[in-house]
Structure 1
Amino acid sequence: MDSESPDFVPSVFVYKKHSQRPEGKIERPSRKRKRDERETVTQPAPPPPPVDDTCTVEETAEAMVPQKDYEDLVTKHGQLQEECVSLRKECEQLRDENAKLKEKLKNAHFTCSTVKPDLTQFVFLTGLTTVIFDWLLGKLVGSVKKVTHKLSLEDHLFIILIKLRMGISNRYLAYKFNVTDSTISGICRSWLAVMAHCLQPLIKWPSKQAVLKHMTKIFKRNFQRCRCITV
């Protein structure tokens, strides 16, 4: 304000003329920040601490494997590899053998041909030796017929003899020979009648006098009319 103006009032403060660019005050912090960034970039980074790559002779000796131990390890490794190969071959052989046995067990059935080699078992089941069995089969051939094609004529006669001797149920025989219950019933019905007719000449009933003659005293006293005993 002009000092000659009637509104002029003296002041104790020193008057400063305002800047022609007030936005310069706003740009001042930005300029200072840029100067600080330039100073930070120009300063070199401190070098990394030196790495002590020196190694003593004792540490090097401890890190190395002795030659003898190394050779022993190589030999043992070779032996283990050979043993591993041998075990793999043995495992393959056992696996093949197991598969063959499973297949054999799956295909194996209870038949006359499988039991016939065991004479003791065959006599126990049928009551006949293999020679008499073959003779009886030859006598019946031509008079009997197959009830099922799953079983041979030997199996048909084998079933009849087991049924007569052991008294086994038809269901169990059907299970053992892998057929149905009706098949076992059909074999029994057709074969028993033919066997009774063909083997009738072999059955000799003694007379009453012969029975009484050879009867024991206790039977004579209590069972005078006894002609036979079925077991």
Structure 2
Amino acid sequence: MNVSFFDQFATPQIMGVPLVLLAMTLPPLLIMTTTTRITPNRLIALQTWAVHMFTKQLMLPLNKPGHKWAAILLSLMLFILSLNMLGLLPYTFTPTTQLSMNMGLAVPLWLATILIGMRNQPTMSLGHLLPEGTPTPLIPILIIIETISLFIRPLALGVRLTANLTAGHLLIQLISTAVFVLIPTMTVTATLTLIVLLLLTGLEIAVAMIQAYVFTLLLSLYLQENV
């Protein structure tokens, strides 16, 4: 029984082709529809307002060279958000519950921020490994600690996104199974459990949006240190 709960995180396949590839192609079809009308409709106006607000909030702490990353970070935010939200629909699969995919997003972008810092301001980038005013005996230890923390960053990005989505989906699976089991014998308890399930589903929707924002925000903070 325990194995079946985790089967929802296994990548489904049809004729040997992973469906995660299909799931990753769907979000671009749903994002930012364009129109030739002078006055956009309410959906496009809402999308434009949300994009402007998010970009303004994200680029606020960055200096001018970092603004070149606005399109990349915005696209990443919308991509992860779409995958997280589509994964909450019935009979669907959430690609962002796979650590391999999240690491595939986190590692190249984190490495890009490091390479930009080493190219544009190597002194400042290396200076983050040693805080100013450190006593001489502690210099080797602090350099090792800061280096380890630097290389842990992409792992933390991927694991955070994977763990939050996996925990939420697993909890929804457990509670929904309890509802089906309790309906024939304990109707009142099953009804209360169903209410909890609905509240948890709303919470999972919020988590899906927040985790997409946190992933992008942390990347922007890493970029801030290197531009």
Question: Higher relative contact order at CA 8 Å, sep ≥6: structure 1 or structure 2?
Answer: 2
> Based on CA coordinates, which of the two structures has the bigger radius of gyration?
1
TM-score by length of 1: 0.19
Q: Larger helix proportion, structure 1 or 2?
A: 2
TM-score by length of 2: 0.19
